[in-house]
Structures are given as structure tokens and as C-alpha cells.
Amino acid sequence: MSGQNRSPEFGFFPTPLAAGQLDLLHQVQLAEQVGIDLVGIQDHPYQWKYLDTFTLLPWLAGQTEHIRFFPDVAHLPLRPPAMLAKSVASLDVLSGGRIELGLGAGAYPESSQAMGAEARSPAEAIAALQEAIGIVRQFWRSPQPPIHHHGDAFQLRGVKAGPPPVHDISIWVGGDGPRMLRLIAGTADGWISPGTRHLSKDELLAKQADMDRYVVESGRDPSAIRRITDVSGVITDGPASGWLHGPLDHWVTELEDLIAERFDTFIFWPDDSSDEQIHAFSEVAMKLRRK
């Protein structure tokens, strides 16, 4: 299926290195200045070189004005859903509605278990994710009576939800296996694909076709699901040397192809995270917005 129902958006994916927090802030502020829409921050709490995502996000939001943020993606095994819902809603309030929630079942299980996460099989992790999505949405519907939840993965015993977010936060879920795609198709507001660093163009489009099929099987319209992908590579002055390795016009053409397949949100993960690359990607975004 092809077609496009929403204007494309463009984001930036900086690496949250603790040793480079001022450079990180500078690049996020630069991304805002040149018209980038979103910043996605990966969430790997067990990575000792990285700042904690849910401490970093409010620090960045407090020093920007318009650009939006999302965890790309929140690591559910170490982020209990009720606490995650409260953290994201609070950040939405403090940022003036500039937060979306990217969420995943949890990569690197041995590393998260080393920090105290519960061991789960792949099937249990996916079931826990589906349970968590329901809890998060219920938590955001405050004010309401105390919430009781008695599930296989999570228990809530009369928690009072709040504060509510100031806008309708979207839940974008990352994953690409058949069970994850079916979950996303039936419950999520958006799909975060593994991205071009991990998939070839043909593989990415095949996953997109799978997603369309699962969405239809779930009884939803494929246009209801936002399609987000990291786009990794380098924008050069010379001729193209591969997919997403080439000049501005090469990038515009390649992303146009993805837009035609209903991808609508592109998170730039450059091979070289320099100011020049951010400026160049903003030019790609400007050209695509004009089309």
C-alpha cells in the first residue's frame, strides 16, 4: 500500500554520552534552530557511558523552546509502567506538551537483569509490553478513581494517577519481529522500525508491508499508524556511494521513496555527528517539506 496522510517530520538521534553533555546540548539546540522537529534519546540504563534518559530529557527540554522529545525507546524491564506513565506525563507538563513516548519490550536482557530487571522469555516480554501499554494509557486518563490492575507482569493496588499530560501523548513502539509487529498493529499509535543501520532498503520495505497486513488484520486503517525510522548514513559533497551515503539530492530521493511507502518520520542518526551533518539534514528536510 502506498500513500501519505501526514506531513513528514524530521528528527535527530544524538548519543547520550556522559562525557559529552555540553556537546549534546549544543547539537540539540542547533537542531532546534535549523528546524528539526524531534529529538530521540536511546534508553540503555545499563550502559555506563550513557546518561540516564529520563534525567537527560528534562534537562534538554528545559533549555529548548519548540523541539519535541521522545525516548527512542524506553526500556520497559527497567521502567515500571505506572512510574513510566507518571514520569512522561510530568515531563509533558513541564515541557509544555513536547513529549511523546517511544517504548520497547527491552533489548539486552542480560544487561537489564544485571540491574535487577525480571527475567522474561521473549513471549513474556511481549505480553508484558502489551500489558504496560494499557496501564500507561489508563494512568494518563486521570483524574479517575484509584487504579487496580492484576496482570501477569504488573500489579497496581489502588494507585491514584496524575498529573495528566497536557496533550494526547502518542505511544510509538519499537520492534520488527512478527509478534511485535502484530502487537504494534493492534495497539500502538506508531511503529519505530529498527532503522537503516540495521535493515537494508528492501528489508525495511518488507517489514512495512508486513505491518500494513497486520494493521488490516487487526481491523485498523494502515494510515492510523505513524511510521518512524532511524536514517543512518552521511550527507556528502561527492557522488553517492550507497544507500543514504551521498549528497543532498541523493538523500532527498531516497527519503522520497520511503515517504511514498508511508514512512513519515525520519530520525537522523549520522555516522559523523557533527554540526555540518545537522545543517545538511535540515536542508534535506526543507526540500522534502516543500514537495
Does the pLDDT of residue 1 top 50, yes or no?
A: no
Q: How confident is the model at residue 143 (pLDDT cuts 50, 70, 90)?
A: confident
Helix axes 275-289, 21-33, angle to 10 degrees: 30
How confident is the model over 65-101, as pLDDT tens digits?
A: 999 999 999 999 999 999 999 999 999 999 999 999 9
How confident is the model over 196-243, as pLDDT tens digits?
A: 989 999 999 999 999 999 999 999 999 999 999 999 999 999 998 889
pTM of the predicted model, to two decimals?
A: 0.95
Sequence-distant (6+) residues with CB within 8 A of 76 are 84, 103, 104, 105, 106, 125, 128, 129, 132
Instruction: Give me the chain's average pLDDT, please.
Output: 95
Does the pLDDT of residue 2 top 50, yes or no?
A: no
Does the pLDDT of residue 151 top 60, yes or no?
A: yes
Structural domains of the chain sorted by starting position, each given as residue range(s) with its CATH number in brackets: 9-289 (3.20.20.30)
